[in-house]
Structure 1
């Protein structure tokens, strides 16, 4: 049994196709098939049911894949141990960031990080929280930046900062005359929301739920971006809520429509999250230090109330 054979098994389990798995692992399909067959013969079991389309794991195959993932992770930890012993911070690192954080946070830390750690080869991907969770558990992401707490046993969370919600309220809105707002002021009938799949949307729904308003009302409009929500709000179609860092890029005219919450301000917890197996911790710790250091100067809020991103 070899680590390479186990990696081939994991690839086929993920893609449910021998040809695709071979392409992803950069070997020929006959080579991959032969190595998996040799492993099956050694164990005297069938890992895959090849009669199904797409290919499926057998009942024992599911257990083999779970164990194979642990073994492959532990084998990669050896390199981590050596790198940490040498003080080396470098190599490939795959980072996921959720869409409502990517546009504001990435420009703040990326240049600093790449300058400080030039030997780290970053691959950054914009992903939803559900996609991030799956990719971390499957070993395809080394870490991610997402709204927390998620409370998933296989994933560790390390809070980076707490980002308040801010109201964007046009002059024509019923709350325009308020200097500050409360959760109880919110009414989902006139709040413009991000479309389903964004955890910031779920945070807004949870905030309204905490204010004892009905979170199941039909919304007037939904969109995939804060920019669109702001434009719709400017057209008098309702108010919206923005994450604080997003408000830093608004024009002077748009800033006049901002309304902050009375303390404690509702806020989202933003964390760097990673597998409980703690691979590549030297890079994760370096990234944490850079991001936390940059954001600390931008967010001065202390008295906040964390709103869960979980539905």
Structure 2
């Protein structure tokens, strides 16, 4: 049994196809098939049910994949130890970022980060929190930037910053004349929300439900982007809540629509998250330090109350 064979097993389990798995592993399909057959012969079991389309794991195959993932991760640790000993910060690093953080945070730190660490090859994807948790657990992401806490046993979290919620209220809205907003002012029935699947949406719902006996999840309008919510609000369709960093890009003529909350301001916690196996920690530490240093100048709020992103 070899580490390479176990990597082939994981690739097939992911792609459910020998040809695609071979392409992923940069080997020919016959080479991959031969190595899998050797492993199955050595163990005297069948890992994959080749009669199914797409290919499926057998019962024992699922247990082997679980253990193979642990073994491959631990094997990767050896390279991590060597890199740390040599003080090397480089190589491929796969990062996921949730949609409500990507457009504001990424432009703030990316240029500085790649200039400071030119040997790191970043691969960045915009993903939902659910997708991020799955990919980190499966070993397909090295880390991610997401709203926390996530209450996941497989994932560790390191806080980057706390980002307050800010109300965006159009001229025609009932709360327009208030200088500051209180959480108890909110009514989910006249709130514009992001579509299902966004953790910021879940945070807003949790915020409203914490102060009202709100059980009817009926909303007027839902959208896939914060920019669309702002445009809909400008058309008099309701108010919305924005993460603070998004308000920095609001046109000056619309700044009067922004209303801050009475302290402690409701806020989301944004963290860099990674697998509990703690692979590539030297890169995670570097990214945490760069982002924390930059964000300190943009967000000065301290008196906040963290709202969970986990759907209740």
Q: Same fold (TM over 0.5)?
A: yes
Show CA shifts across 1:25-80 (max 9, x none).
11111111110010011111111111222111111111111111111111111011
Cα shift at 1:217: 3.3
**2-side partners of 1:216 and 1:119: how far apart?**
51
The aligned residue for residue 220 of structure 2 is 220
The aligned residue for residue 134 of structure 1 is 134
SS in 2 for 1:52: coil
Cα shift at 1:171: 1.3
1:165-204 maps to which residues of 2 (within 5 A)? 165-204=165-204
The aligned residue for residue 21 of structure 2 is 21
1:267-286 maps to which residues of 2 (within 5 A)? 267-286=267-286
Do residues 122 (structure 1) and 122 (structure 2) align?
A: yes
Cα shift at 1:216: 2.6
**2-side partners of 1:25 and 1:128: how far apart?**
26
Cα shift at 1:215: 4.7
The aligned residue for residue 102 of structure 2 is 102
Q: 4+ runs of 1 displaced by more than 4 Å?
A: none
Question: Would the aligned equivalents of 1:142 and 1:274 in 2 still touch at CA under 8 Å?
Answer: yes
The aligned residue for residue 161 of structure 1 is 161
Show CA shifts across 1:217-261 (max 9, x none).
311111111111111101111000000000011111111100000
Show CA shifts across 1:66-99 (max 9, x none).
1111111111110110000011101110100000
More off after superposition, 208-217 vs 17-26: 208-217
The RMSD of aligned alpha carbons is: 0.8
SS in 1 for 2:260: strand
Cα shift at 1:15: 1.1
SS in 2 for 1:268: strand
The aligned residue for residue 287 of structure 2 is 287
More off after superposition, 252-261 vs 212-221: 212-221
**1-side partners of 2:121 and 2:85: how far apart?**
20
C-alpha change, 1:215 and 1:230, in structure 2 (3 Å) is: farther
More off after superposition, 203-212 vs 17-26: 17-26
1:7-86 maps to which residues of 2 (within 5 A)? 7-86=7-86
The aligned residue for residue 210 of structure 1 is 210
> TM-score, with normalisation over the residues of structure 2?
0.98
The aligned residue for residue 265 of structure 2 is 265
The aligned residue for residue 2 of structure 1 is 2
Cα shift at 1:213: 4.1
| Unaligned residue ranges in structure 1 (runs of 5+) | none
SS in 2 for 1:261: coil
Cα shift at 1:154: 0.6
Question: Would the aligned equivalents of 1:187 and 1:213 in 2 still touch at CA under 8 Å?
Answer: no
> TM-score, with normalisation over the residues of structure 1?
0.99
Question: Would the aligned equivalents of 1:97 and 1:125 in 2 still touch at CA under 8 Å?
Answer: yes
Question: Would the aligned equivalents of 1:13 and 1:56 in 2 still touch at CA under 8 Å?
Answer: yes
Between Structure 1 and Structure 2, how many residues are aligned?
Answer: 311
Cα shift at 1:12: 0.6
